[in-house]
Amino acid sequence: MNTITTEWDKCYPKNEKVNHKKVSFKNHFGIELVADYFSPKGVSGKLPAIACCGAFGAVKEQHSGLYAQEMASRGFITIAFDPSFTGESDGEPRYMNSPDINVEDFQAAVDYLSNLEEVDSEKVSIIGICGWGGMALQTACIDTRIKATVAITMYDMSRVSGCGYYDSEDSEEARYQKRVNLNNQRTIDFKNGSYKLAGGTIPLDLVKDMDVPVFVKDYSEYYRGRAYHNRSLNSNNGWNVTASSSLMNTRLFTYAGEIRNAVLLVHGEKAHSLYFGQDAFKLLKGDNKEFLLVKDATHCDLYDGGVNHDKIPFDKIEAFIKKNI
């Protein structure tokens, strides 16, 4: 087990209306996951629960914890967990990912919440942010215990890994060159006995003068600036170069049309990632599926509400989950 921090080291202020503690639980691969647990003060009885995670390469001290704490203040038992191989959770080698293991991480969080004495096991939901919005939707495809799934500013990590942004690399030749590079790196990593890191977001002093898309600068402003955390991959040196291999060889949402429980997709109208959410929503069926477009919001605005912290539609998220549990 990695060392677990006891002091408050979050990138958001503590809500004194909410109890907080660290907890841990194992997934089916035997990996110990560490989570922040939140509960509303002065409330008794069995409560509905929510597991939160994301973004891809973030840690629970960033936006998933913000969401978990806020939802706890609204009457839920919540956890925000670090995925396998990242943050305070276990798993070797570090800084790896796998769509199979990541879905299992979410399912293990549901296992944990469903067995708490203070939780109504028939009222468990999940919230995934960015790449973990896609993992949340993928988990909803398999886990019928989840009553409501909320995907915030969602990325389809399998699509962007295999096809590039806006599908600009969606060709056999482009994918072949990626495979060559990844597999050559595997050979080098094995020889060196270590994994080369891909690099996280661009440091603020460099990105400000670079000719890069606005969303790249937005990522840096969030991860390197207002929400820097020493355990966050995105704030520091990023994933292993070869970590995207399994995502390239997978396609999420094959069974999205068979999800019977409620799904809410939330995206900013100015988000570069909007097309991921729009296309995923087309796969969903039933009258308990909703898409919410947040006016004037960018991708990163839905991490922490933006500069004025007012763009996350928590009222809508609360109402949707309570309606569908």
Instruction: Give, in degrees to the nearest 5, the angle at Cα 197 between 193 and 202.
Output: 165
- Residues 141-170: pLDDT tens digits? 999 999 999 999 999 999 999 999 999 999
- Per-residue pLDDT of 196-221, as tens digits, reads 999 999 999 999 899 999 999 999 99
- Cα angle at 49 between 46 and 53, to 5 degrees? 160
Longest dimension (CA), the chain: 60
Contacts of 52 (CB under 8 A, 6+ apart): 60, 64, 65, 67, 68, 71, 78, 79, 80, 81, 126, 127, 128, 129
Residue 5 has a pLDDT of 93
Interatomic CA distance for residues 231 and 264, integer angstroms: 29
Q: What pLDDT shows up at residue 61?
A: 98
Q: Specify the amino acid at residue 276.
A: F
Does 29 or 307 have the greater pLDDT score?
29
Q: What is the pLDDT of residue 1?
A: 61
Q: How many Å separate Cα 162 from the centre of its chain?
A: 19
Choose among 62, 68, 63, 59: nearest CA to 40: 68
